[in-house]
Structure 1
Amino acid sequence: MLPNEPVPPTRIEFSAEDRAWITERIAEVLTSGRLTLGPYTEEFEIEFARLHQVKHAVAVNSGTSSLEIILRSLNVEGKDVLVPADTFFATAAAVVAAGGRPVLMDSDPTTMSTAASEIERRITPSTVGVMIVHIAGIITDQMPEILATAERRGLWVVEDAAHAHAATLGGKSAGSFGVAGSFSFYPTKVMTAAEGGMIITDNDDLAAEARLYRDQGKASFHQNLHVRMGSNWRLSEPHAIIGLRHLSHLTEMIQGRRRIAAIYDQTLKNGDFGLVPLSPPRDCVANFYKYPVLLADDIDRSIYKGWLKDEHSVICSGEVYEAPLHRHPVFQSLDTGDLGGAEMLCARHICLPIFASMNEWQATRVLEAVKCARSELIGR
């Protein structure tokens, strides 16, 4: 890396060896004509399930689809589903698409997730389940209490683990705590298939339903008899091949991210830089899809990010979520007026650059930039 080359917010990489491996296998499936729901999709599912220690993995064409399929399989039509206000559009949109009603929950400032007490506060007579989002690849240490609360109240838990590939809490994988988990392979994620998503579950019936829904609701791949209101949610073989290759590197890619996070932690937790890192719980092994930090009250986020870029060529990515769901026009009707934790988290955080191939010199440049920013930008 050249001295003045910008530090990018993230970077997805495929080595020359990866590209050759992927190209060879895509050529193979192009020759065979088996372009969807073939052996590479099956292998991708088997390996993903093995890594996350579950019985079933069902590959689909996006993380958004995986959420909707899970919710359709759980029959949420006409029912309430608790959803964090601090999450991506798709978490709540999937509830709506499946015929349910999202009910927003506030956020825990320490993990950007949800507290068990907040679930109790939001339950309605029509509530059937709770969606927990593992933001930035961090699993809240309240998961055991959340699961106990849900069981006591007769609710299921679904995990939106779009950020949390291979993250664990107490040795248990993201996506395996509740009835099902949903993952995304969008290009910015810790691993990618270019596009795609995955459902994981130990529930045999839900896995079978998911396989029906992803293929137009057909009774079987070779029979045009539709038994569910499904859609074209299949993952193609070329996408599965890309995902399978990246999955083979996932452990080492996460190790690279954790190495950079440790460098950031060591400096930021021992100095006054106007930044407070979002620390994973003690038993959580986070994958550091993002490295969120909370800004001091006297720092203007847009000025801060612009200054880092202009003065130090350090480019921060977009926020995890810039606005909570109830601030989006399509979800304004969900505003309960008491979602202050989510509003604070969305308004006051930034994400420092982090990616698997990032080196110590780049991390040091980021830290030098934020050190300078504290003194230069006070009051601006």
Structure 2
Amino acid sequence: MLLNLPPIPPTRIDFSEDDSAWIAARITEVLKSGRLTLGPYTEEFEAVFSTYCGARHAIAVSSGTSSLEIILRSLDVAGKTVLVPADTFFATAAAVIAAGGRPVLMDSDIATMSTSPEEIARRITPDTVGIVIVHIAGIVTDRMPEIMALAQSRGLWVMEDAAHAHGSTLAGKHAGTFGRAGSFSFYPTKVMTSAEGGMIVTDDDELAAAARIFRDQGKASFHQNLHIRMGNNWRLSEPHAIIGLRHFSHLDEMIRNRRRIAGIYNEALGAGRSRFVPILPPEACHANYYKYPVMLPNGVDRSAIKAWLRDEHGVNCAGEVYELPLHRHPVFAAYDTGDLQQSEHLCSRHICLPIFASMTDDEAHRVITALRAAEEREIGRG
């Protein structure tokens, strides 16, 4: 390992001693109160998150996955088709199926890891009711205005899977606020976390009201045991809300730090300076850099180069986004349209460099040194 330095992790979650003490004191408070779910800390978390995003409503739920399904149930997708990118996490398409709909997979736009208006247009059928846009790696495609115009012209809604995109914006507008609703995840790998949890943001009063019913077993109200929708136990607990509130208070600072590290990578790898080509956000996108994806040179074996970076330089690359497109997972094999080549290429040809809020400049330069050495030695070529 280079100079016997400690390894660089792919990512890291940071809570200071002050954070831990703040969280512990408030969890103790709610334990004494007995109000352990859907209480004042959940309401506060919702209020600050909706204000931050510029949305009228924020509804806290148990996970990013449940936030997706709740939105889709609120939009009544049962028996209808919904366009979903092939390059996304299992939950995006699984939520459509769980809500009674059928996902139709779309190919990728490699420039932004999203999809294009042209691809959306060719997938629309008479049964299509909506489109899911996924902001992969925290990048908001600069074609969102075109996508929204296309959806409006065809009478379709747009929802956003913004699980990666807390704080990302396009021309000042927050991810999650372009369409009818946006879904966020607070899983521990994300830019901010509540340990487990998710959030729905929307300006639609009816959708927000339905979401609050769905998250609490479909009950008419928290204090009324009358079930009016086929909901589930999708509540966020007060301890999770407390953790989320505290981590959220650092979100802008954490994004600034991630962008500083990304700037070092951009300077070294961008503008044709390397055969490791970063997928950079569009100029109008202020990305949170949840991931830093880099396309590999042709002929380089991904497993081999990741192993060499780890073993020789202590550089541990993050998991891909994503290693396989959805139709290559057995559970979604029936949804393979046979023409998703860009998604397959994108998924198979990239790695994600280490990036996290507490990463140092020296660590970022170590990553660049390792990549340059790999390039000079042609590591990973057969």
Q: TM-score, normalised by structure 1?
A: 0.99
Partner residue, 2:60:
59
Matches within 5 A, 1:304-343: 304-343=305-344
Q: Deviations over 1:249-271 (max 9, x none)?
A: 00000000000000000011156
Matches within 5 A, 1:221-232: 221-232=222-233
Q: Which range moved further: 165-174 or 269-278?
A: 269-278
Matches within 5 A, 1:263-342: 263-270=264-271, 272-342=273-343
Give me the whole-angstrom Cα distance separating, in 2, the residues matched to 1:323 and 1:353. 20
Amino acid of the residue matched to residue 357 of structure 2? A
Q: Deviations over 1:67-113 (max 9, x none)?
A: 00000000000000000000000000000000000000000010000
Partner residue, 1:202:
203
Give me the whole-angstrom Cα distance separating, in 2, the residues matched to 1:271 and 1:146. 29
Q: Deviations over 1:102-156 (max 9, x none)?
A: 0000000100001001110000110000000000000000000000000000000
Partner residue, 1:214:
215
Distance 1:330 1:378, change over 3 A: closer
Partner residue, 2:161:
160
Give me the whole-angstrom Cα distance separating, in 1, the residues matched to 2:5 and 2:245. 35
Give me the whole-angstrom Cα distance separating, in 1, the residues matched to 2:147 and 2:170. 13
Matches within 5 A, 1:162-177: 162-177=163-178
Q: Deviations over 1:30-67 (max 9, x none)?
A: 00000000000000000000100010000000000000
Amino acid of the residue matched to residue 176 of structure 2? G
Give me the whole-angstrom Cα distance separating, in 1, the residues matched to 2:57 and 2:273. 46
Q: Deviations over 1:264-288 (max 9, x none)?
A: 0001115653211011011000000
Number of residue equivalences: 379
Q: Please report the RMSD computed on the Cα atoms of aligned residues, expressed in angstroms.
A: 0.9
Residue 4 (structure 1) shift: 1.4
Aligned with 1:57: secondary structure? strand
Contact 2:301-2:380 within 8 A present in 1 as well: no
Contact 2:302-2:380 within 8 A present in 1 as well: no
Q: Deviations over 1:209-263 (max 9, x none)?
A: 0000000000010111000000000000000000000000000000000000000
Amino acid of the residue matched to residue 163 of structure 2? A
Contact 2:293-2:352 within 8 A present in 1 as well: yes
Give me the whole-angstrom Cα distance separating, in 2, the residues matched to 1:213 and 1:378. 49
Partner residue, 2:381:
379
Residue 320 (structure 1) shift: 1.1
Give me the whole-angstrom Cα distance separating, in 1, the residues matched to 2:108 and 2:381. 28
Matches within 5 A, 1:356-375: 356-375=357-376
Partner residue, 1:105:
106
Matches within 5 A, 1:59-208: 59-208=60-209
Amino acid of the residue matched to residue 142 of structure 1? R
Give me the whole-angstrom Cα distance separating, in 2, the residues matched to 1:160 and 1:314. 30
Contact 1:256-1:356 within 8 A present in 2 as well: yes
- Unmatched runs of 5 consecutive residues or more in structure 1: none
Q: Deviations over 1:295-337 (max 9, x none)?
A: 0112100000000000000000111110000000010011111
Contact 1:9-1:354 within 8 A present in 2 as well: yes
Give me the whole-angstrom Cα distance separating, in 2, the residues matched to 1:172 and 1:245. 24
Residue 3 (structure 1) shift: 5.4
Q: Deviations over 1:196-221 (max 9, x none)?
A: 00000000000000000000000010
Amino acid of the residue matched to residue 44 of structure 1? F
Query: Which 4+ runs in 1 deviate beyond 4 A?
Result: none
* 1:351 maps to 2:352: yes
Give me the whole-angstrom Cα distance separating, in 1, the residues matched to 2:380 and 2:15. 41
Give me the whole-angstrom Cα distance separating, in 1, the residues matched to 2:74 and 2:273. 49
Contact 2:304-2:380 within 8 A present in 1 as well: no
Aligned with 2:320: secondary structure? coil
Distance 1:3 1:55, change over 3 A: farther
* 1:12 maps to 2:13: yes
Give me the whole-angstrom Cα distance separating, in 2, the residues matched to 1:201 and 1:264. 35
Give me the whole-angstrom Cα distance separating, in 2, the residues matched to 1:106 and 1:10. 28
Contact 1:273-1:370 within 8 A present in 2 as well: no
Q: Percent identity?
A: 69
Give me the whole-angstrom Cα distance separating, in 2, the residues matched to 1:226 and 1:365. 57
Contact 1:131-1:157 within 8 A present in 2 as well: yes
Aligned with 1:104: secondary structure? strand
Contact 1:194-1:242 within 8 A present in 2 as well: yes
Give me the whole-angstrom Cα distance separating, in 2, the residues matched to 1:152 and 1:77. 23
Give me the whole-angstrom Cα distance separating, in 2, the residues matched to 1:273 and 1:311. 20
- Unmatched runs of 5 consecutive residues or more in structure 2: none
Partner residue, 1:48:
49
